[in-house]
Amino acid sequence: MQKRKRMNVRFLPLIIFIMLMFILYGFIASGSILFGTASERVPEQKGYTIHSRQAILVDLTTGKTLFRQQEEQRAYPASLTKIMTTLLAIEHIHDLHKIVQMPATVFADLRDKDASMAGFLPNEDVKIIDLLYGTLLPSGADASGTLAISVAGSEQAFVSMMNQKAAELGMRHTHFANDSGLQDPRHYTTAKDLSLLLSYALKNSTFRQVFTTKQHRINPTNLHPDGIVLHSTLFQKIGSGQINGGSIIGGKTGYTDEAGLCLASLAKMNGHEYILITLGAPGNHSTTQYDIEDAYTIFKNQNEKNAR
């Protein structure tokens, strides 16, 4: 009896290991690890290919995911980060016509890091509402940095707020390290997480207004006596944005060498609104804009599918 008992004890670790493997397999098979439950997953779209590494298309009217490609694979968001920055500023600054001074410290490293700028100057007096447009339209890191300090007192404190908001929205695979999207290995997200953020942000009327604006004129300031005209980087590249049955009505572009070309876009087709997140397209500002090509491809295919 003692010998048999010693044998049973000896095989106990093997039995436990086999049981754990069965449990792990069950989680993977059901899609519970990384990708949620199997019932939440949408089959990969067939019939066409895109350039972007990650993508997700969501019908805002129904909440249904219509297209996905590696939507939960970790990726760098580049300037799509500024969607979160803009949203938090709107939610925490109640007087959007308040005038703040652009801190000289914000500009210190931005040009050295080749960050995109809206065209403001150190110590310029600017309304918060104009900083919102400066953040989303020309993707100005000067504007986003000033918003961060205006909200939280420092970029570090603002980043903590960004991560807290991400957690509240269920962005489980996202971590922010700065307010603008400058490259940082600790600054990452997924296409799905960004779709959760954009879906939420578009419920805010101020955010929606800024996100869908093509051009915004800023009145004269203490350092720009003729004012400033801000242009959407997206609409500068897509022209009319017309698609059969609808059009692209808003968006935010992003790019770094590591992130590739990224795009968050909003389209309206046949009475429905759709958001599309694409990340990791090849190219740069000087090449074919493959992120925009992907947007046209996905929206057009969805429109054709709706017409069947």
Average pLDDT, the chain: 88
CA-CA-CA-CA torsion for 120, 112, 190, 269, nearest 10 degrees?
40
- What is the structure's pLDDT at 175? 98
Report the residue count for the chain.
308
> What is the percent of the chain where pLDDT is above 70?
85
Most confident of 20-24, 114-118, 213-217: 213-217
Q: Taking a C-beta distance cutoff of 8 angstroms, is the pair 197, 169 a contact?
A: yes
Which residues are CB-contacts of 103 (< 8 A; sequence separation ≥ 6)? Answer: 122, 145, 146, 149
> What CA–CA distance (Å, rounded) separates 250 from 233?
11
Q: Please state the pTM of the whole predicted model.
A: 0.85
Quickly state the pLDDT bin for 240 (edges 50, 70, 90).
confident
Q: Taking a C-beta distance cutoff of 8 angstroms, is the pair 188, 170 a contact?
A: no
Provide φ and ψ at 21, rounded to 5°. -65, -40
Task: From residue 177, give the alpha-carbon distance in Å to each of 75, 117, 158, 210.
Answer: 14, 19, 10, 24
Q: Where are the alpha helices (DSSP H) in the chain?
A: 2-29, 82-92, 104-107, 128-136, 141-152, 155-168, 191-201, 205-211, 233-238, 290-307
Quickly state the pLDDT bin for 58 (edges 50, 70, 90).
very high
